[in-house]
A and B are shown apart, each in its own frame.
Chain A
Amino acid sequence: MARNDIRLRRNRMQAGNIARHRNYGELLQRHEREQKFRRYFKLFGYFLVVAFLIILLVIVVRWEQRKKVKEKQKQTTSYVWKPAHH
């Protein structure tokens, strides 16, 4: 069973043809673009983490406040004076 396609090339590729594709300036531009994108992506990641932490903090603070209010309510209801039945 043939697994790969083996081909015999009569001519070696000309160096001039390869030179047509060689362009370091373009590669450098692409690299800078990608680095910029990576930087923004990283920044966005940090922003998400910070936003998540802030949301978490707000939820915890609110939850604690509610807890305190409930406890206060409990305390006030337990001190309600009920007159004795005559």
Chain B
Amino acid sequence: MTEAEIRDEYNILEKSRKDSRAFGSLYEKYYDKIFYFIYRQTEDEDVTADLCSQTFLNALNNVEKFEFRGLPVSAWFYRIAANEVNKFYKKKKASRVFSIEEMRVKELVELANFDWDEEMIQKLLQHLKELPTEMLEVLELRFFEDKDFKEIAFILNITESGAKMRTYRAIDKLRSYFNQKGKYDGKK
């Protein structure tokens, strides 16, 4: 996303401080992305719809508090959505779900120059289960939402170096499970 596009979105937010209807364009633009992001962590359509609606409502209610930090407005929506998901699991006291699309996993496996193999995927899922939630969160944002480290840091309310560290550690852990050597270079 270019600087000008980020500014444009910020201007829409500025407008929606006075007229809530202006927020509608951002809602339409990001609804699906936020919906997928939440759905991947709940796998329940109705719960996702509720949390997604709550996310945008919180954003609209707190539009005056938004501070421009040079990041796309979507990062702010992701941050609110991540908090909503956390609140949901805290309240529900259930183990967290990470539901990933087979197609996307296939793409990532092919990117890593591996052959698509059902057994290997099952192993990968098993190993992902062993990772702590914080690592799964960064992996999801990095590889399923294509976010850069600056955005990940903002969304998860951690430092940029912390986001990098978590990602590298997660990748290294997965590599060690598969007896793969080498370090993750930060690229996809």
User: B98–A6 contact, CB under 8 A?
Assistant: yes
User: A12–B103 contact, CB under 8 A?
Assistant: yes
Among the 9-residue stretches B21-29, B69-77, B150-158, the one with 4 or more Cβ atoms under 8 Å from chain A is B21-29
| CA of A8 to CA of B27, assembled, Å | 28
Tally of B interface residues using CB under 8 Å: 39
How many A-B residue pairs have C-beta atoms within 8 angstroms? Tell me.
Answer: 94
Give the nearest-CB partner of B48 in chain A.
A21
User: B98–A35 contact, CB under 8 A?
Assistant: no
Nearest 7 CB-CB pairs, A to B? A21-B49, A7-B99, A2-B129, A6-B128, A4-B96, A5-B97, A31-B60
Tally of A interface residues using CB under 8 Å: 26
Residues 44-79 (chain A) with a chain B CB within 8 angstroms:
none
User: A31–B129 contact, CB under 8 A?
Assistant: no
User: B28–A8 contact, CB under 8 A?
Assistant: no
Is A86 located at the chain interface by the 8 A CB criterion? no
Q: Name the contact of A13 in the complex, choosing from B39, B97, B125 (C-beta under 8 A).
A: B39
Interface positions of B (Cβ within 8 A of A): 20-21, 24, 27-28, 31-32, 35-36, 39, 43, 45, 48-49, 52-53, 56-57, 60-61, 95-103, 105, 121, 125, 128-133, 136
26 contacts between A and B (CB under 8 A): A3-B96, A3-B133, A4-B96, A4-B97, A4-B128, A4-B133, A4-B136, A5-B95, A5-B97, A6-B128, A6-B136, A8-B99, A8-B102, A8-B105, A9-B99, A10-B102, A13-B45, A18-B31, A24-B24, A24-B27, A27-B56, A28-B21, A30-B53, A31-B20, A31-B57, A31-B61
Interface positions of A (Cβ within 8 A of B): 1-10, 12-13, 15, 17-18, 21-22, 24, 26-28, 30-32, 34-35
Whole-angstrom distance between the Cβ of A85 and the nearest chain B Cβ: 83
Q: Residues of A contacting B56 with CB < 8 Å?
A: 27
